[in-house]
Amino acid sequence: MEIRAIVLDVLRRHLGETLPEARLTAIADEVQQALTAAWEEVPLVDEEMGYTASLELLDVCLIDRLLNEGYDIRIYRSREPVRPRGTLERKYVEHLLKK
Protein backbone atom coordinates (compact mmCIF):
# COMPACT_ATOMS: atom_id res chain seq x y z
CA MET A 1 0.00 0.00 0.00
CA GLU A 2 1.37 3.40 -0.95
CA ILE A 3 1.98 6.13 1.62
CA ARG A 4 -0.84 8.32 0.28
CA ALA A 5 -3.35 5.48 0.55
CA ILE A 6 -2.25 4.71 4.11
CA VAL A 7 -2.52 8.36 5.15
CA LEU A 8 -5.91 8.69 3.50
CA ASP A 9 -7.15 5.57 5.29
CA VAL A 10 -6.04 6.94 8.68
CA LEU A 11 -7.61 10.32 7.97
CA ARG A 12 -10.90 8.67 7.00
CA ARG A 13 -10.96 6.61 10.20
CA HIS A 14 -10.27 9.58 12.47
CA LEU A 15 -11.76 12.54 10.61
CA GLY A 16 -14.08 10.97 8.04
CA GLU A 17 -17.24 12.13 9.77
CA THR A 18 -16.05 15.71 10.30
CA LEU A 19 -14.26 16.60 7.06
CA PRO A 20 -15.43 16.16 3.47
CA GLU A 21 -13.69 13.52 1.33
CA ALA A 22 -12.15 16.19 -0.90
CA ARG A 23 -10.42 17.78 2.11
CA LEU A 24 -9.12 14.40 3.32
CA THR A 25 -7.76 13.68 -0.15
CA ALA A 26 -6.07 17.08 -0.31
CA ILE A 27 -4.40 16.47 3.07
CA ALA A 28 -3.20 13.01 1.99
CA ASP A 29 -1.81 14.52 -1.23
CA GLU A 30 0.05 17.19 0.72
CA VAL A 31 1.57 14.61 3.09
CA GLN A 32 2.66 12.51 0.09
CA GLN A 33 4.27 15.55 -1.57
CA ALA A 34 6.10 16.52 1.63
CA LEU A 35 7.47 13.01 2.11
CA THR A 36 8.50 12.77 -1.54
CA ALA A 37 10.32 16.09 -1.26
CA ALA A 38 12.24 14.94 1.83
CA TRP A 39 12.85 11.23 1.08
CA GLU A 40 13.73 9.10 -1.92
CA GLU A 41 13.47 5.35 -2.32
CA VAL A 42 16.75 3.51 -2.89
CA PRO A 43 16.36 0.45 -5.13
CA LEU A 44 17.51 -2.76 -3.45
CA VAL A 45 19.30 -3.91 -6.58
CA ASP A 46 21.32 -0.85 -7.45
CA GLU A 47 24.94 -0.03 -8.22
CA GLU A 48 24.96 2.76 -5.66
CA MET A 49 23.37 0.57 -2.98
CA GLY A 50 25.75 -2.29 -3.75
CA TYR A 51 23.13 -4.89 -2.87
CA THR A 52 21.94 -7.87 -4.83
CA ALA A 53 20.00 -10.83 -3.44
CA SER A 54 22.24 -13.78 -2.64
CA LEU A 55 21.48 -17.27 -1.36
CA GLU A 56 24.79 -17.26 0.55
CA LEU A 57 23.65 -14.29 2.62
CA LEU A 58 20.28 -15.67 3.73
CA ASP A 59 21.55 -16.59 7.19
CA VAL A 60 23.35 -13.33 7.94
CA CYS A 61 21.52 -10.63 6.01
CA LEU A 62 18.14 -9.50 7.31
CA ILE A 63 17.20 -8.05 3.93
CA ASP A 64 17.92 -11.32 2.13
CA ARG A 65 16.04 -13.31 4.74
CA LEU A 66 12.94 -11.10 4.57
CA LEU A 67 12.95 -11.01 0.77
CA ASN A 68 13.19 -14.81 0.72
CA GLU A 69 10.20 -14.99 3.10
CA GLY A 70 8.15 -12.92 0.64
CA TYR A 71 8.22 -9.50 2.30
CA ASP A 72 8.37 -6.28 0.30
CA ILE A 73 11.37 -4.28 1.48
CA ARG A 74 11.78 -0.59 0.76
CA ILE A 75 14.72 1.52 1.78
CA TYR A 76 14.49 5.30 1.87
CA ARG A 77 17.15 7.92 2.39
CA SER A 78 16.76 11.57 3.15
CA ARG A 79 17.42 13.77 0.14
CA GLU A 80 19.74 15.94 2.25
CA PRO A 81 22.34 14.68 4.77
CA VAL A 82 21.14 14.83 8.38
CA ARG A 83 24.49 14.44 10.16
CA PRO A 84 28.11 15.32 9.39
CA ARG A 85 29.91 12.90 7.08
CA GLY A 86 31.81 10.18 8.94
CA THR A 87 29.76 10.41 12.17
CA LEU A 88 28.66 6.77 12.17
CA GLU A 89 32.12 5.48 11.25
CA ARG A 90 33.67 7.38 14.19
CA LYS A 91 31.07 5.97 16.59
CA TYR A 92 31.77 2.44 15.31
CA VAL A 93 35.55 2.86 15.72
CA GLU A 94 35.09 4.33 19.21
CA HIS A 95 32.94 1.32 20.14
CA LEU A 96 35.62 -1.10 18.90
CA LEU A 97 38.33 0.72 20.86
CA LYS A 98 36.35 0.37 24.09
CA LYS A 99 36.30 -3.45 23.81
Per-domain residue ranges of the chain: 1-39, 43-99
**Calpha distance 90→80 (Å, rounded):** 20
- 67: exposed, middle or buried (Cβ count in 10 Å: 0-12, 13-18, 19+): middle
Predicted pLDDT of residue 51: 55
Predicted pLDDT of residue 17: 94
Per-residue pLDDT averaged across 38-64, rounded? Answer: 66
**Average model confidence (pLDDT) for the chain?**
81
pLDDT by residue (tens digit) across 81-98? 877 777 777 776 777 787
Predicted pLDDT of residue 87: 74
69: CB partners within 8 A, 6+ apart: none
Predicted pLDDT of residue 10: 97
